[in-house]
């Protein structure tokens, strides 16, 4: 893992570019290295524990108690009802395999015909337009987050199982490099905080492990006062290091989600959730 990290840092520093080295892509090996790294770093945690974000980490034990109290009366309950109502009223089940139940573990997925990664937000909007309805505009919060929360809640307990076929390796590498490349005025990569410093305190927060990212989303954040998708969170994390955030559903965040979701292979979905 360290070798991989140093290698990528050197690449970024010397070239100033983030290029996918598709010829050497080996997602399976990446996955093994990534999960083994966290196994060693947090030996007391099972794969299932990572579904709870930073609350499962030893340093966040106090925050966890408070979180469990919140989760007894989750603040997203109303949104979940709203999301289900919209799903039912718009016949969204008809666009998805198994009516949308127990399929979220395969998202995002590589669409071989279109040669692109598809997210659930895109599939929901496509389903709406197919039946002559307006797509949902705000892709980060509000109604879309509520509908995605309902969709993902129908797959709770399913273990993440994103596939990376050969043709998807270039986008996979694009997402992987986004995760490992340093950026912003503070010159941090996602991995600086969520791999190398995971489990440590940072500004009153315990940094979550990258393993498990995406499984609890959408989440209701007290700071947001509402639900947000994982792309909303990515934007916030980019801003923290004074880097330019990308748009929700941009190629960058979609590839990043694809990489993170694949790294979560085997972690159960537990969505929506709540964060402080």
Separation of alpha carbons 95 and 29, rounded Å: 34
Nearer Cβ to ligand HEC (150/194): 194
* Tokens, residue 170: 């270039």
Rounded-to-integer distance, Cα 162 and Cα 266, Å: 10
Whole-angstrom distance, CA of residue 114 vs CA of residue 221: 34
The CB-of-263 to ligand HEC minimum distance in angstroms stands at 11
Contact between 263 and 34 under an 8 Å Cβ cutoff? The reply is: yes
Longest pairwise C-alpha distance within the chain: 54
| Gap between the Cα atoms of 115 and 71, Å rounded | 40
- Determine the Cα–Cα distance for residues 273 and 220; give it in Å rounded to an integer: 6
Beta carbon nearer to ligand HEC, 144 or 206 = 206
Q: To the nearest whole angstrom, how small is the minimum distance from the Cβ of residue 58 to ligand HEC?
A: 14
The smaller minimum CB distance to ligand HEC, of residues 27 and 216, is found at 216
**What's the gap between Cα 158 and its chain centre?**
15
Q: Please state the closest distance from residue 209 (CB atom) to ligand HEC, in A.
A: 8
Q: Which is nearer to ligand HEC, 149 or 207 (CB)?
A: 207
Residue 60 beta carbon to ligand HEC: minimum distance, rounded to whole angstroms: 9
- Least distance from ligand HEC to the Cβ atom of residue 220, Å: 11
Q: Which is nearer to ligand HEC, 100 or 175 (CB)?
A: 175
Nearer to ligand HEC, 61 or 202 (CB): 202
C-alpha angle 223-225-228 in degrees, rounded to nearest 5 = 85
Tokens 């307990």, located at residue: 157
To ligand HEC, the closest distance from the beta carbon of 215 in angstroms equals 7
C-alpha to C-alpha distance for 226 and 199, rounded to whole angstroms: 26
Least distance CB 136 / ligand HEC (angstroms): 21
Q: What are phi and psi of 134, to 5 degrees?
A: -80, 135
Closest approach of ligand HEC to the CB of residue 91, in Å = 31
The whole-angstrom separation of Cα 253 and Cα 11 is: 21
Please give the Cα distance from 38 to 187 (Å, whole number). Answer: 23
Q: Which residues bind ligand HEC (CB under 6 A)?
A: 53-54, 188, 190, 192-194, 202, 205, 207-208, 213, 216, 219, 230, 233-234, 237-238, 240-241, 256, 275
Phi first, then psi: what are they for 5, rounded to 5°? Answer: -65, -45
CB of 82 or CB of 194, closer to ligand HEC: 194
The answer to whether the CB of 124 falls within 8 A of the CB of 144 is yes
Nearer of residues 86 and 262 to ligand HEC, judged by Cβ: 262
């Amino acid at each position: 893992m360290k070798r991989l990290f140093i290698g990528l840092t050197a690449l970024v520093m010397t070239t100033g570019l983030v290029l996918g080295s598709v010829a050497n892509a080996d997602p399976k090996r990446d996955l093994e290295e990534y999960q083994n790294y966290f196994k060693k770093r947090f030996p007391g945690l099972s794969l299932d524990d990572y579904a709870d974000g930073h609350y499962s980490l030893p340093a966040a034990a106090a925050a966890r108690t408070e979180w469990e109290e919140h989760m007894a009366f989750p603040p997203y309950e109303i949104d979940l009802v709203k999301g289900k109502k919209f799903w039912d009223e718009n016949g969204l089940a008809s666009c998805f395999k198994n009516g949308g139940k127990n399929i979220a573990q395969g998202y995002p997925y590589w669409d071989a015909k279109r040669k692109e990664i598809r997210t659930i937000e895109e599939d929901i909007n496509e389903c709406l337009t197919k039946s002559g309805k307006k797509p949902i505009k705000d892709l980060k919060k509000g109604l879309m987050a509520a509908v995605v929360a309902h969709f993902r809640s129908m797959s709770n307990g399913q273990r993440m199982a994103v596939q990376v076929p050969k043709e998807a390796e270039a986008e996979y590498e694009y997402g992987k490099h986004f995760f490992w490349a340093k950026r912003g005025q503070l010159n941090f990569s996602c991995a600086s905080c969520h791999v190398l410093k995971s489990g440590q305190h940072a500004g009153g927060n315990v940094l979550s492990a990258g393993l498990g990212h995406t499984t609890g989303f959408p989440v209701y954040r007290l700071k947001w006062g509402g639900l947000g998708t994982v792309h909303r969170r990515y934007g916030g994390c980019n801003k923290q290091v004074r880097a330019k955030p990308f748009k929700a559903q941009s190629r960058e965040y979609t590839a990043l989600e694809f990489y993170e979701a694949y790294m979560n292979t085997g972690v159960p979905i537990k969505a929506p959730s709540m964060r402080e």
